[in-house]
């Protein structure tokens, strides 16, 4: 029997507002492998400089040039990458170009060994152009690896996953250089083993290229957030005739936003100076009677610690408690990094005193450099996310592009300052990190992207509800477990 006072209960849809797809992890893996390979190939010859000089009969300055093609080519190629990235299916196009060009770069460097032999009197003159072409092609891939990191995480991952996804994409590239410093000397135990390393790089580039060509979707079937929806539905550079005009207009908007300028400069300066400083550990520690091998392991430990720091802090930055605390986390990380650098500098010779103030051992030096790397690495990915938040709704690739341009400009300048000036670099890294803390403190981070994501999510939830439901009861209808997570 039907009751007259039956209550009508509104039905709430259990369909998620935004959908996440498992193959987002495959997309991140393929991109990370390509990023890893790009940095590994870029660093090929520096860790095995003596063996390379003997095998190809070239000078140390040539080895330096093969490395320096990275920042030299990066700077003019970056604007082209940004324009391509923000066209229709731009991310996929960038990844395919990255996979193909890096494979060709690895292949070109192997060709001299195939077409001639090291015993030939013309081997060096034949091989050298191939080495330069390979390194230049690989250097042109640098922007394709560094510019898309924030945009990839926004396009494929949920808001509470984005910082971790960005961190993994960034750290994969850094991990390439870390591994290169260790495995390259291990494989090339004598000059005649240089080709073995080149063949290994070619094999890795081939695997990554095949994976990218077999399957790398341009975008998820449906956007995972409101910010991703904007990227999918409104590419920035839809018309080629307006691409450069749009690019310059957007760059000007970024450079006239004080908080963006402060944060991006802090990220670029810290990355460029810290990288140059760690590369000089062998010279800095030589007066303290540490060997070149020990200095290499200190650098390796610092780099690994940075990767761990980035992954750990990005996990906290993605939690509800710290999701709007990027500035605080960056300042704390940079401050801890400065303390670790001070500890290191009190243990070595500097401009200000002839003898170290603190007694040092391999353990204390290793711990201080590892802590410096840990806290620097923890802050670095957060800056990518912070500047993307500030400049929303401009594409994440723009903010990341300007940041990495600062990194490469700083690196290029230090190429002329750092060599044989290790005491100056020891001082510069401390001054730079303190200046970076000040720039972050004076910046103001507004969470435009995250706030818009939340607003759109709640708006879509309300559209799914049938009947009359008070809008204040909707907020907790969809939890993060339903929305997808790395866990």
On whether residue 7 sits in a domain, the answer given is no
Q: What is the CATH number of the domain that holds 345?
A: 1.20.1250.20
On whether residue 229 sits in a domain, the answer given is no
Q: Are residues 389 and 312 in the same domain?
A: yes
Pair 81, 147: CB distance under 8 Å: yes
On whether residue 475 sits in a domain, the answer given is no
Query: What pLDDT score was predicted for residue 183?
Result: 85
Q: Are residues 394 and 255 in the same domain?
A: yes
Query: What pLDDT score was predicted for residue 264?
Result: 93
Contacts of 156 (CB under 8 A, 6+ apart): 21, 24, 27, 28, 165, 219, 220, 224, 228
Query: What pLDDT score was predicted for residue 485?
Result: 41
Q: Are residues 271 and 369 in the same domain?
A: yes
> CA 17 → CA 162, 266, 464, distances in Å?
17, 37, 8
Q: Are residues 426 and 351 in the same domain?
A: yes
Q: Are residues 385 and 274 in the same domain?
A: yes
Q: Are residues 361 and 317 in the same domain?
A: yes
Q: How many CA atoms lie within 13 A of 122 on its CB side?
A: 3
Task: Identify any residues that bridge with 12 across adjacent strands, giving them in sequence order.
Answer: 465
**SS3 track for the chain:** CCCCCCCCCCCECCCCCCCCCCCHHHHHHHHHHHHHHHHHHHCCCCCCHHHHHHHHCCCHHHHHHHHHHHHHHHHHHHHHHHHHHCCCCHHHHHHHHHHHHHHHHHHHHHHHHHHCCCCCCCHHHHHHHHHHHHHHHHHHCHHHHHCCHHHHHHHHCCCCCHHHHHHHHHHHHHHHHHHHHHHHHHHCCCHHHHHHHHHHHHHHHHHHHHHHHHCCCCCCCCCCCHHHHHHHHCCCCCCHHHHHHHHHHHHHHHHCCHHHHHHHHHHHHHHHHHHHHHCCHHHHHHHHCCCHHHHHHHHHHHHHHHHHHHHHHHHHHCCCCCCCCHHHHHHHHHHHHHHHHHHHHCCCCCCCCCCCCCCCCHHHHHHHHHHHHHHHHHHHHHHHHHHHHHHCCCCHHHHHHHHHHHHHHHHHHHHHHCCCCHHHHHHHHHHHHHHHHHHHHHCCCCCHHHHHHHHHHHHHHHHHECCCCCHHHCCCCCCHHHHCCCC
Q: Alpha-carbon Rg of the chain, whole angstroms?
A: 25
Task: Please tell me the distance from the alpha carbon of residue 117 to that of residue 80, in angstroms, as a whole number.
Answer: 38
pLDDT by 10-residue block (mean), the chain, 487 residues: 45 60 93 95 86 88 86 87 84 94 96 87 89 94 90 89 91 88 85 92 96 92 83 58 72 90 93 84 80 81 91 88 88 95 86 75 90 93 90 84 88 72 81 94 87 76 59 43 41
Query: What pLDDT score was predicted for residue 439?
Result: 95
State how many domains the chain has.
2
pLDDT in tens, 232-275: 776 554 444 456 777 788 888 888 999 999 999 999 999 988 88
Domain encompassing residue 386: 251-468
Contacts of 296 (CB under 8 A, 6+ apart): 47, 181, 281, 282
Q: Are residues 209 and 260 in the same domain?
A: no
Q: Are residues 297 and 190 in the same domain?
A: no
On whether residue 13 sits in a domain, the answer given is no
Q: Are residues 307 and 444 in the same domain?
A: yes
Count of CB atoms within 10 A of residue 359's CB?
Answer: 8
Contacts of 467 (CB under 8 A, 6+ apart): 8, 9, 10, 11
Q: Is the peptide bond before 109 cis (omega within 30 degrees of 0)?
A: no
Q: Are residues 262 and 208 in the same domain?
A: no
Pair 139, 72: CB distance under 8 Å: yes
On whether residue 236 sits in a domain, the answer given is no
On whether residue 238 sits in a domain, the answer given is no
On whether residue 239 sits in a domain, the answer given is no
On whether residue 5 sits in a domain, the answer given is no
Query: What pLDDT score was predicted for residue 35?
Result: 95
Rounded to 5 degrees, what are φ and ψ at 279?
Answer: -70, -15
Pair 340, 360: CB distance under 8 Å: no
Q: Are residues 354 and 450 in the same domain?
A: yes
Count of CB atoms within 10 A of residue 427's CB?
Answer: 15
Residue 467 — left, alpha, or beta (φ > 0 → left; ψ -120 to 50 → alpha)? left
Nearest 10 degrees: Cα torsion 268, 271, 276, 278: 170
Task: Please tell me the distance from the alpha carbon of residue 233 to that of residue 393, in angstroms, as a whole number.
Answer: 13
């Amino acid at each position: 029997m039907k009751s007259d006072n039956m209550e009508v209960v509104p039905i709430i849809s259990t369909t998620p507002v935004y959908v996440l797809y498992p193959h987002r992890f495959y997309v991140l893996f393929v991109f990370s492998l390509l990023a890893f390979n790009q940095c590994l190939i870029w660093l090929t010859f520096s860790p095995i400089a003596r063996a390379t000089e003997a095998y190809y009969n070239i000078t140390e300055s040539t080895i330096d040039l093969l490395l320096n093609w990275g920042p030299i080519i990066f700077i003019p190629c970056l604007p082209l990458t940004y324009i391509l990235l923000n066209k229709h299916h731009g991310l996929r196009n960038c990844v395919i170009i990255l996979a193909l060009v890096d494979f060709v770069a690895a292949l070109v460097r192997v060709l001299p060994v195939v077409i001639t032999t090291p015993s030939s009197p013309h081997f060096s003159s034949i091989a050298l152009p191939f080495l330069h072409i390979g390194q230049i092609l690989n250097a042109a891939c640098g922007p394709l690896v560094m510019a898309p990191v924030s945009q990839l995480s926004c396009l494929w991952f949920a808001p509470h996953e984005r910082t971790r996804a960005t961190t993994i994409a960034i750290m994969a590239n850094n991990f390439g250089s870390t591994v290169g410093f260790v495995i390259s000397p291990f494989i090339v135990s004598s000059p005649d083993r240089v080709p073995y390393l080149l063949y290994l790089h070619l094999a890795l580039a081939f695997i990554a290229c095949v994976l990218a060509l077999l399957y790398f979707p341009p975008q998820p079937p449906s956007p995972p957030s409101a910010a991703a929806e904007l990227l999918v539905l409104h590419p920035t550079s839809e018309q080629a005739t307006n691409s450069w005009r749009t690019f310059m207009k957007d760059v000007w908007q970024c450079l006239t936003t004080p908080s963006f300028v402060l944060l991006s400069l802090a990220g670029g300066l810290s990355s460029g100076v810290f990288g140059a400083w760690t590369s000089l550990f062998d010279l800095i520690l030589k007066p303290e009677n540490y060997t070149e091998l020990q200095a290499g392991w200190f650098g390796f430990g610092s780099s690994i610690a940075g990767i761990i720091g980035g992954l750990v802090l990005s996990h906290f930055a993605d939690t509800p408690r710290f999701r709007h605390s990027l500035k605080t986390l960056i300042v704390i990380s940079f401050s801890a990094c400065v303390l670790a650098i001070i500890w290191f500098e009190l243990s070595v010779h500097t401009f200000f005193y002839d003898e170290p103030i603190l007694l040092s051992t391999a353990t204390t030096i290793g711990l201080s450099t590892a802590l410096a790397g840990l806290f620097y690495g923890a802050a670095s990915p957060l800056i990518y996310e912070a500047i993307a938040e500030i400049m929303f709704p401009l594409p994440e690739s723009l903010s990341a592009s300007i940041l990495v341009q600062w990194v490469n400009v700083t690196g290029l300048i230090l190429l002329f300052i750092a060599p044989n000036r290790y005491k100056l670099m020891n001082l510069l890294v401390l001054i730079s990190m303190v200046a970076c803390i000040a720039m972050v403190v004076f910046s103001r981070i507004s969470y435009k992207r995250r706030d818009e994501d939340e607003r759109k999510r709640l708006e879509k939830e309300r559209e799914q509800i049938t009947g009359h439901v008070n809008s204040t009861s909707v907020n907790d209808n969809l939890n993060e477990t339903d929305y997808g997570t790395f866990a």
